Amino acid sequence: METPPELSLETTEKPRRRGREERQRAGSSAPVYRPQPKRPFPAVNAVSEDQLEAIHNASMQILEEMGIEVLHDEARAILKAAGADVAPDTNRVRFDRGLVESKLGLAPRSVTLHARNPNRNLTIGGDHLAFCSVASAPNVADRDGGRRPGNRRDFQNLIRLGQTLDTVHLWGGYPVEPADIHASVRHLDALYDLLTLSDKPVHAYSLGRERNLDAFELVRIARGIDRETLDREVSLFTIINSNSPLRLDIPMMEGVIQMARHNQLTVLTPFTLAGAMAPVTIAGAVAQQNAEALAGLVLSQSVRPGAPFAYGGFTSNVDMKTGAPAFGTPEQMKAALVGGQLARRYGLPYRSSNTNAANTIDAQAAYESVFSLWGAVMGGVNLLMHGAGWMEGGLHASFEKMVIDADLLDMITNFLMPFQVNDDELALDAIREVGPGGHFFGCAHTQARYRTAFFAPMISDWRNYETWQEAGSPTAYDRANRLYKDRLEAYQEPPMDPAIREELAAFVAKRKEEGGAPTDF
Amino acid sequence: METPPELSLETTEKPRRRGREERQRAGSSAPVYRPQPKRPFPAVNAVSEDQLEAIHNASMQILEEMGIEVLHDEARAILKAAGADVAPDTNRVRFDRGLVESKLGLAPRSVTLHARNPNRNLTIGGDHLAFCSVASAPNVADRDGGRRPGNRRDFQNLIRLGQTLDTVHLWGGYPVEPADIHASVRHLDALYDLLTLSDKPVHAYSLGRERNLDAFELVRIARGIDRETLDREVSLFTIINSNSPLRLDIPMMEGVIQMARHNQLTVLTPFTLAGAMAPVTIAGAVAQQNAEALAGLVLSQSVRPGAPFAYGGFTSNVDMKTGAPAFGTPEQMKAALVGGQLARRYGLPYRSSNTNAANTIDAQAAYESVFSLWGAVMGGVNLLMHGAGWMEGGLHASFEKMVIDADLLDMITNFLMPFQVNDDELALDAIREVGPGGHFFGCAHTQARYRTAFFAPMISDWRNYETWQEAGSPTAYDRANRLYKDRLEAYQEPPMDPAIREELAAFVAKRKEEGGAPTDF
């Protein structure tokens, strides 16, 4: 597929660093493609090399002695053929550490994830960071409409809003479940919406082979490529959650197999909440996470050596008083650092998350989010799930939070820009010109730079107290509420070749006629 | 001074990690002394060694070529005697780089800051972190009373509240200015309050020699020590702000001289807001910060080689649209990392801050605070100013924010606890016992640990949405409002030998009779 000419023109512009706010004010959604953030300093190691090996060895012991329950017949057969020990008449698969070691180093350290708009292509891995939207929330909320079950209208509006936000790089799934679409055809309509309302890379759920295959076809059509190109170019990713502890279910294993066969990206993320689905101790929870992730890696690399595969860490803890999941905790931050160390040990891209357990857009929502971002970013995250819009431990997606999070991600993007040290930045002439007791506002060095010198937030209100009070004492929640509506109003659908749109619609119609996909997953 | 017996008894208890919440519920203020947090991983370097040297060299060029305006006659004389170039008939002092280099390595890398209760002593430097209360706000706020000018009643209540919070380790100044006490005697009443209502280490403002000397005497009496001991044991610190750009005023220089003479801790923090008092480029702002801090170091070490001295970084930026200071920005985070690198280069303890520019307790207040904490903590902060209660760019202290921040600092304290990896923590037996598809709630490993396994927050509300809604949908602000009042109610004054209290009161009375201190500073 060729890029529509208006987009090609835009990309001859140099990426502007600070222009976003101006564009917002103008209400324009003319795309400006900013470079993907890269971590300029090494990730932080929370444990020593010896401790890391102890965690690795504990995982090996889990895989060798206890094994993993694999509910999928073909997956067990593949693993058996690869050398795993599959106990007769049970689902239990034990993995020799030699088998595991033999599958390390095959998957790429870094892959290009292709979007239908090539300017939106992303590098997943290395020092790069890619920020996903919120995904898979069953409910949706904004202040005006309150909290309500997921539906296609809100689903589409969240896609529109995310499309307008530069720091939402890709879709990590459905931002909210469009539950009013029948489950047999939901994936068809939902992917059609994602691929037409947005031009950013997409995720597909692994809920049975038919859905995986439909997703490959929809993404292939949207990109205007043939099957050979799709097989060469990663154009889709899936999140595979293990059923912790130590279980991998049928649709998840089918997803690993299909994604590997088609050379698409699997992100295996064990669902290891310490104290519930994993040990109450963080080292134990991480060891279990690691065992489950490596079991998935062995399957993936047994299906197709070199298939793209990322290491997912989601270890947090539950509130032991109530059993409720807790997020943005010190335990999650520590687990995020160690998860990153393990991913780097295995040479795999690393997935972590922007999470919180708050029910409303208050200080808690913000500090839990930033703490989880702190752990993820300093831990070396490559693929940040739930980057924008996640609330309530994932139980609702929020329009306002999506805008606030986009600002947090923009702050991180600016924080990660390499620190510049040169004569121009050191500004000795300006310091000399201004002199003791002077002021830098008026000097030439400032005048030449002030418009773009600093990060300009969407949300933060820096007016003085009196002016702010006269304006009605708005909170960040108030500002985000106004802003998300302004942005939805200014949203423009990204251009798409009409022939491609027709082909997508025709494929959806045909598959609907065929009855969609089975719903007995 | 001997520790009162009830305190000595308490300290035979092993520090409990998670017991705080239980104590809060019990309404008890029985002190439990938790170990001071230590950074378990290296601080993050934002610039290369070469870049760091370029910044250092730019600072040297500033000091050599442009010099610093030093308004204090004795300071200029001391600097001249030390070898600085003092231009005749001006206040301009130029520092040869050889002079600067000769003063490096004399001040200790780490000092013990003594409290009147020795269990509250703190290490300032090395890998240790110490968290100060908010300081120097002209206004105070809580939701019930709104925002109001500083006064002694709120000042005392903030001290009481901070005394009950484990993670408020020391006082970085007056949490709010008790402006209803006459300026000539304010330091006497305020330090009396700090030293009697709390038993944590204190700060004294450098606003003229008399106030410095009064502070030494009050701290000496409160600790029950003689002058020789005070001269050996650091018992007080002061923040010295340069009048950026490139100016050091009379009370500040007097403070450096007095603190050095008496072997007390000076923290020199240039007030370098990029775009206003420093170049609009962060490298330039940091180079200027560094020059000003080193000028203070030269004075301090010329007065008394080895006098305790900490390197302060406060570089953030202004909002170029309005000139308003901005905090918790990406620019501040980067400057915090580089400031830490410079402090380590010079072997000095490093001061940074917990800051935000929000007018109310909303998401902005929280995310700006955590971003500033991220920069400070990963940058290797040793002395965190404004740790709890700072709002509105320092223009008001907030009761609710003090409680929220104390929780943030507690999360950081737990995040920084070394990651434990051993058989017990790896929990293989528990994983084996629970097995595939099981649940860890009931297993013995969990049962033995669940009460203290995880950080238990004061503020975060992890109830499910429905329960939370039935409870009236409280925000973090609501919870902090209730909690701070509960804590104030439960506050108990820390024990003090009556003879010491009398001596303190008598000193205050005598100095008031003498008219206090001049107010023409």
| Closest CA–CA distance from residue A279 to any residue of chain B (Å) | 6
End-to-end CA separation in angstroms for chain B? 34
The CATH number for A342's domain is 3.20.20.480
Residue B363 near chain A (CB below 8 Å)? yes
Kindly determine whether residue A473 and residue B360, on different chains, have CB atoms separated by under 8 Å: yes
Any domain includes A348? yes
Distance set, CA B365 to CA A474, B316, B328, B380, B465 (Å): 13, 16, 9, 23, 23
- Does one domain contain both B237 and B382? yes
Encode chain B (521 residues) as per-residue pLDDT tens digits: 333 333 333 333 343 444 444 444 444 556 789 999 999 999 999 999 999 999 999 999 999 999 999 999 999 999 999 999 998 889 999 999 999 999 999 999 999 999 999 999 999 999 999 999 999 999 999 999 999 999 999 999 999 999 999 999 999 999 999 999 999 999 999 999 999 999 999 999 999 999 999 999 999 999 999 999 999 999 999 999 999 999 999 999 999 999 999 999 999 999 999 999 999 999 999 999 999 999 999 999 999 999 999 999 999 999 988 889 999 999 999 999 999 999 999 999 999 999 999 999 999 999 999 999 999 999 999 999 999 999 999 999 999 999 999 999 999 999 999 999 999 999 999 999 999 999 999 999 999 999 999 999 999 999 999 999 999 999 999 999 999 999 999 999 999 999 999 999 999 999 999 999 998 76
Of B44, B338, B421, the CB nearest to A51: B421
- Does one domain contain both B290 and B437? no
Count of structural domains within chain A = 2
Kindly determine whether residue A370 and residue B371, on different chains, have CB atoms separated by under 8 Å: yes
Any domain includes B151? yes
Q: Which residues of B touch A424 (CB under 8 A)?
A: 281
Window 367-406 of B: residues touching A by CB (8 A cutoff) are 367-371, 374-375, 378, 392, 395-396, 404
Radius of gyration over every alpha carbon of chain B, rounded to an integer in angstroms: 24
State the burial class of residue A256 (Cβ atoms within 10 Å of its Cβ: 0-12, 13-18, 19+). Answer: buried
Residue A461 near chain B (CB below 8 Å)? yes
Any domain includes B493? no
Average pLDDT over residues A432-457: 95
Contacts of B99 (CB under 8 A, 6+ apart): B82, B83, B84, B298
Count chain A–chain B contacts defined by CB atoms under 8 A.
383
Q: What is the pLDDT of residue B111?
A: 98
Q: Which residues of A touch B58 (CB under 8 A)?
A: 426, 428
Query: Which one has a higher pLDDT value, B300 or A18?
Result: B300
Kindly determine whether residue B283 and residue A370, on different chains, have CB atoms separated by under 8 Å: no
Window 304-343 of B: residues touching A by CB (8 A cutoff) are 317, 319-320, 322-326, 329-331, 333-334, 337-338
**What's the whole-number average pLDDT of chain A?**
94
pLDDT band at residue A473, thresholds of 50, 70 and 90? very high
DSSP A397-460: EEHHHHHHHHHHHHHHHHHTSPPP-SHHHH-HHHHHHH-TT--STTSHHHHTTTTTSS---SS-
Classify B354 as helix, strand or coil: coil
- Does one domain contain both B308 and B390? yes
End-to-end CA separation in angstroms for chain A? 34
Of B338, B449, B450, the CB nearest to A419: B338
Q: Which residues of A touch B435 (CB under 8 A)?
A: 66, 245-246
Residue A270 near chain B (CB below 8 Å)? no
- Does one domain contain both A228 and A287? yes
- Does one domain contain both B430 and B507? no
Q: What is the pLDDT of residues A344-369, one digit of tens each?
A: 999 999 999 999 999 999 999 999 99
Query: Would you say B134 and B157 are in contact if contact means Cβ atoms under 8 Å apart?
Result: no
Residue B58 near chain A (CB below 8 Å)? yes
pLDDT > 90 fraction of chain A, expressed in percent and rounded: 91
Alpha helices in B262-398 (DSSP H): 282-303, 330-346, 363-378
Q: Which residues of A touch B419 (CB under 8 A)?
A: 46-47, 51, 282-283, 334, 337-338
Q: What is the pTM of this model?
A: 0.94
Kindly determine whether residue A320 and residue B453, on different chains, have CB atoms separated by under 8 Å: yes
- Does one domain contain both B311 and B449? no
Q: What is the pLDDT of residue A509?
A: 98
- Does one domain contain both B306 and B331? yes
Alpha-carbon span B173 to B159, nearest angstrom: 11
Would you say the ipTM is above 0.90?
yes
pLDDT band at residue A25, thresholds of 50, 70 and 90? very low
Pick from A359, A377, A449 the residue to mutate for testing the B interface (most B CBs within 10 Å). Answer: A359
Phi, psi (degrees; rounded to nearest 5) at B501: -60, -45
Q: Return the H-helix or E-strand segment holding A254.
A: helix A250-261
Residue whose pair of structure tokens reads 């290009």 in the numeric block: A112
Any domain includes A54? no
Tokens encoding A478: 């108030």
Q: What is the pLDDT of residue B521?
A: 60
Q: What is the pLDDT of residue A521?
A: 60
Kindly determine whether residue B367 and residue A419, on different chains, have CB atoms separated by under 8 Å: no
Any domain includes B53? no
Of B62, B415, B440, the CB nearest to A431: B62
Residue A472 near chain B (CB below 8 Å)? no
DSSP strand E in A150-280: where? 237-240, 247-248, 265-268, 273-274
Q: Tell me which residue range forms the domain holding B282.
A: 110-415+501-513
Q: What is the pLDDT of residue B30?
A: 65
Q: Give the residue from chain A lying closest to B70, CA to CA.
A: A436
Residue B513 near chain A (CB below 8 Å)? no
- Does one domain contain both B314 and B403? yes
Any domain includes B505? yes
Q: Give the residue from chain B lying closest to A469, CA to CA.
A: B359
Q: What is the pLDDT of residues B295-354, one digit of tens each?
A: 999 999 999 999 999 999 999 999 988 889 999 999 999 999 999 999 999 999 999 999
Any domain includes B436? yes
- Does one domain contain both B398 and B447? no
Buried b (16+ CB within 10 A) or exposed e, A489-520: ebbeebebeeebeebbeebbeebeeeebbeee
Which has the closest alpha carbon to A295: A275, A273, A266? A266
- Does one domain contain both A506 and A430? no
Query: Would you say B199 and B230 are in contact if contact means Cβ atoms under 8 Å apart?
Result: no
Q: Give the residue from chain A lying closest to B448, CA to CA.
A: A280
Q: Which residues of A touch B441 (CB under 8 A)?
A: 275-276, 323
Kindly determine whether residue B279 and residue A430, on different chains, have CB atoms separated by under 8 Å: yes
Q: Which residues of B touch A284 (CB under 8 A)?
A: 425-428, 430-431, 445
- Does one domain contain both B392 and B443? no
- Does one domain contain both B294 and B429? no
Q: What is the pLDDT of residues A170-203, one digit of tens each?
A: 999 999 999 999 999 999 999 999 999 999 999 9
DSSP B314-334: --EEE-TTT--EE-S-HHHHH
pLDDT at residue A8 greater than cutoff 60:
no
Any domain includes A62? no
